Structure 1
Amino acid sequence: MSNKRQHSQTQPSPIAAGAFSKNPRRMIQKIQSGAVIKDAMKELSRAMDFANAVGENFAAVLPDLNEQTRIEVFSALACNASSKDRRAITEHPQCPAVVKEIVEKHDAKKAEEARADKAKREAERKKKDRAKYEELRKQFGDSPAKDGEAGADE
């Protein structure tokens, strides 16, 4: 996972950290004094320190993990990584071979969910279009000639 993406996922927003005040005057003072930026920089620094500490100690811990834990760790990392980072993770010498299969299943599941969501949106769009058509048909009358023309357009 790239550092930028990793930090954006772990970085809490200044809003969540309570950097914003409900008092507008106090908020303006905080912005002008740079306190909001300082708070955000502290949070970013804390997240970067955490990422660096994990990165530095990760390789040392891997040999001590049992096989199942190593599979779970590599699978979680690879499933949440970009394709470039995923390749680097799955090609690591200590990455179990079964991780590639797990990642492929994860990708297939995500693709199936995406197809299902797309089909659902398409069905909703068609239903909405049909309702609009029916509304217009009722609004302008439903003579047989108009029904035939509208049916030919569909």
Structure 2
Amino acid sequence: MKKREARRKVLVRARMRSGDAWGDVTIHNMSSRGLLAAADTDCRPGTVIEIRRVHHIIVGRVVWQSGGYFGVRTQDAIDMDGIVSAKPPAHKPGTVDTGDRRTAQRRALPIADREARSRRFASGFQFVVLVLAIGAASVIVAQQVGGILSRPFAAIGAHLDGSAGQEPPTNRP
């Protein structure tokens, strides 16, 4: 029989999500890959839960239940010291620890940085669109003015060339 890993007795309050519902949970003991908790909500074996404590997120599956107590096998290793002390997890700055090892290396910027980046992008995009619209309007206006002034200029040019009574030349073949 496999020897059970040593448990650390604690009394930690946290929030737990089971399905769509959130509720309070008290963690009574922890090991590196599991915990014993108590909650008012019914947590049947096989239920996937998420426990949040300040900056820490624990995702796991309920493996047993007895009354209000239940045992959880966690998806990832538990930072017991961090959860008890409620200090931020020890991970690389700029990464988000979601408790899911598939997303642990995702980079995340603080909200203020994302807002500033979004504002800069929007301002630049607005400037480019405005320059293109003004350029297109300028081309259209120049074509219209050129069309309006071409007849009088052609007549003046013909008069200066000495062909005053003749019709201005056209570009027909």
* TM-score, normalised with respect to structure 2: 0.30
Looking at secondary structure, tell me which structure has more helix per residue: 1
Looking at secondary structure, tell me which structure has more strand per residue: 2
Bigger Rg, which one: 2
* TM-score, normalised with respect to structure 1: 0.33
